[in-house]
Structure 1
């Protein structure tokens, strides 16, 4: 916050000072914009004091009062545009200080001989008075800052409470509701803005009563935070089941206290617990898709999740490599150990080196991840010097920790990711061959979305549910023309782009179905393909599907007059994997 934010108040203070002292008052901020003034300087309010600010600048720089008894001839006036031709007859200014900061300058100015006599008569008292006025302005500034902080905190808290999934009800000492968030209104089935009746609040508080003889709130506020209670509450003529928790505010004293009642839907809690339990058993089934390439990927992840060997995830941008790395950690024996990530593309060489390996005083992220998983994204961007250091670390398998005289064994599961063909970068000398072999013990190709079109609608419906819930909307389905567009589009941005498109559509739809008109303009005129994959029109034989998919990719590149190896890009696999599959399915003819 700056002085200009309370300009009206400052101008009122300036006018009051001027009327008392019969002198002109001028007040400027730390950038030397005139924000208040009286008499001859009033017309210059909001103007920058260019080429005439040297006295005030001295006051700002020193933080001390400045007295100019001969304006235009004082040593500070030398560079001024009004040197030896100044209309002022005298000037005194003081800094406006707050918490060690110089906020601006307040000055008294004489434009006549009469005002000059008045200014320099009992000058010490004038400076003391001016200093007190500067303190007054600083105090007003502080008050405004505190008020703004309080209002901002209240807005943040209100927003935060509004987005909490559980219901929150504030209860005053009389046992009445003073506030409830949207979730509480929904759980209690109340219209927006309506507070619950005191009878509803009493039903919610009943499970926490400990002293039947005391007053309503006194019965429960003597205790600390309560354990959760299941209760049946009648509201709106019907009975609902709620899970309740009460939190009293203990502010000292023996009087009745405010409290917070938190309410939740026990069925939803049970569903979440069941889902969590199911996901912990399903493993990589949280990776959405049933295309053979994805089923093969999930099978490979299940087999290698608990291995100690490094994994190299290869795939285009937006295919979900980071999510897959997180899944490997989540469903491995290391799930309770650290999972740390570093993007090699966004840090300078010096910062990346320090982030990975630390120094004598601080451990790097490799040491912090010991016992867990370290994910190195965009590893192709790693500078050669750091590649060498990482190679030695992986080969020696020891860590030198800060403050330790002896090394510690290295126990980190390394997962690296790239959207480049590292083998080609190795051939060009842009990536170390020995490190490439070290990090790609288990190479995993993550297919692009265009290579697994039958998964598009599965993913689209997942994102529809996710973004609808996040935006508090109730959009359930995609229209048939939207489905056709999604299936016909080539998705250069892959899954990330699909999520973005669905989120865009959710924001612009107020219906229960996403229509073509809700899509971005660039998507509405996509040329529809007649052979768009439908989710039920495929065989369940994985080998047949994989063979047919490879054949379609080969036919596609042949029609384009491109070399056979370009089919690897369409399939989202490496060239080595493509040629191995061609040999496996006898497709080299």
Structure 2
């Protein structure tokens, strides 16, 4: 049976509570709880029968300075608890509160879902015993009153990756007697960002084709997509290797998890290891205080796309091989191995077989990656797809550039079909965007179509002119001309400044500096 709750409105005076207590004692009634507020006293007592209750209420009304006696459903503290519980239960973010003794006092259902630890194992426990406090600075808030917003944390016990914000809890005197943290799963944050930014999820219908060559590729993709084996995509620059990788991920069992792409050629060697494998706190100068998970942990449960995997330095190749074999990753500066469940899709436009023969790529890693090889044909080998791709591109760029282009002339299409397309689909996309910019009416004509060369470079400064050895030619000028010619030849043969450096026996940075010196720039980039 529920207790009886009463609200006694009054004009405050000394001894009022004592008089109320004396009445209750006279009737042998125990006080379950009492709350005193200005001009109001709240009582919770045992439930009484109808006659006893009426008699008690009449006696209360006779007490001097009591204005009104009213039966209520809940005590104020009970209403507060119920309201707080409703807030905690309906909140989509995890809420964790601790008291001044560092014990966990609040842990809502969303926190259970996000952290993957049941309420019974958490509530009442010391925060430092449940969570690794080094990675979760809530105790700093309790100790120093510090607040923080959207701090990235990684909890070792649950292998969870979160964003958290925290505030101190203070009493009426301003003293800190607790702290509360809001917890968001990083996956939920990404979904929210995607919903606002309209981030596209690439699927098979994004692969446009009607050629037999691409039909075979798509059939292979359909066959392998639902598995978890490593896929190795091969193809020239600009053939759409990342689009294929995203389509595989979109159809795979891990489609609801993260697709994490990384271009191994675009990140300096000094940073690539920490990006892939992460690091512990204090692992090196400039490292984040709480450490940082690498992309393998970031992609856990999903897909990691290693684009231009041939650019990995040999030491990282060995570390990648171990991850593929053991399905465990070790951060820089850590002795602990963290299990990861990641599907690897790798891609390259290089001849890895030749690199293996030359000792520039590990044979064991090559075979570990080459579980399911997938070759994407060059655009010149699927010319039947050019009209379909062209229409898609000019429709897209017409909208983006606010043009009214609706078709392409037969002569312009013939010009496109008979071109050799060394840059493949990316080059075709560039050519169509250029044409849409140039066209004034609704029809793209042949005169609007202009092409790049295989590797065309632009010069911001005029390169040295051909030198004839004569009395007026200095050694410095002659050396500069030879260096310039060698760089130009290497640009036509190799795909990146890093591969150029290996071929010429120079560092990656030295090649970039020399290209900058002569104003040389690639006009094509690796996919």
Band the TM-score falls in, shorter-chain normalisation: 0.3 to 0.5
Task: Calculate the TM-score normalised by the size of structure 1.
Answer: 0.40
User: Counting helix residues as a fraction of each chain, which structure ranks higher?
Assistant: 1
Task: Calculate the TM-score normalised by the size of structure 2.
Answer: 0.44
Kindly indicate whether structure 1 or structure 2 has the higher relative contact order, using CA contacts under 8 Å at least 6 residues apart. Answer: 2
